[in-house]
Amino acid sequence: MSTAYLLTGGNIGNRLAYLEQARQLIAQHCGRIMKYSSVYETAAWGLMDQPAFYNQALALETQLTPDQLMRELLRIEEEMGRERTVRMGPRTIDLDILLIDQQIITDPLLTVPHPALPDRRFALLPLTEIAGELIHPVLHKTIRQLLEDCKDQLDVQKKSAGGN
């Protein structure tokens, strides 16, 4: 059994409903959601000329291997209408694996820890809420320390409370 930390997000349609649907599908197909953060609204990162995102971090207990989990998350994205037409463009849902226990994985399908995690406030803030004392397996800092050190200045606003 592993604990995976995921980031869900989207900026098309009913963003809150899509995050809730993603949580339900992840719980049905991937394992037990132990905690989830508040929902945060963030200006788009990278490709700026698009609607703001809603993001939420999840702590997932899973029996799936990392590759199986990634494939299942990609299947859920597709089921929820995710289309990959513009890199970093608007999307109904985006499901990323941020961390899995203390594993370090680099393969064509998956890189864990997520390589951009230390640079993205919109991921670190919700992750800190549910796992602030977790140690990053490569940088050997807590998630809370990574958030304090993060240079990203995008505004991240809490929209609703988390759970569990």
Between CA 111 and CA 108 the distance in angstroms is 8
The answer to whether 119 is a known catalytic residue is no
Handedness of CA 98, 101, 102, 104 (dihedral sign): negative
The answer to whether residue 32 is catalytic is no
Looking at 15, 23, 94, 121, which residue is catalytic?
A: 94
The answer as to whether 55 is a domain residue is yes
pTM of the predicted structure, to 2 decimals: 0.93
Predicted confidence (pLDDT) per residue in 87-126, tens digit: 665 778 999 999 999 999 999 889 999 999 999 999 999 9
Residue pair 98/58 in contact by the 8 Å Cβ criterion: no
The length of the chain is 164
Q: What angle do CA 31, 36, 42 make, to 5 degrees?
A: 125
State yes or no: is 107 an active-site residue.
no
Q: Which of 15, 91, 120, 121 is catalytic?
A: 91
CATH code for the domain of 125: 3.30.70.560
Q: What torsion do the CA atoms of 96, 20, 51, 159 make, to the nearest 10 degrees?
A: -100
Domain count within the chain: 1
Does residue 27 form part of some domain? yes
pLDDT digits (tens, 9 = 90+) for 46-89: 766 778 899 999 999 999 999 999 999 999 999 887 666 656 65
Residue numbers of the domain that contains 59: 2-159
In a domain, 61, yes or no: yes
Active site residue 96: yes
Catalytic residue among 67, 75, 87, 96: 96
Question: What percent of the chain clears pLDDT 90, i.e. is strictly above it?
Answer: 74
Options 71, 82, 144, 152, the catalytic residue? 82
In a domain, 129, yes or no: yes
Mean pLDDT of the chain: 91
Q: Which amino acid is at 10?
A: G
Is residue 164 situated within a structural domain? Answer: no
101 sits in the region (left: phi over 0; alpha: psi -120 to 50; else beta) called: left
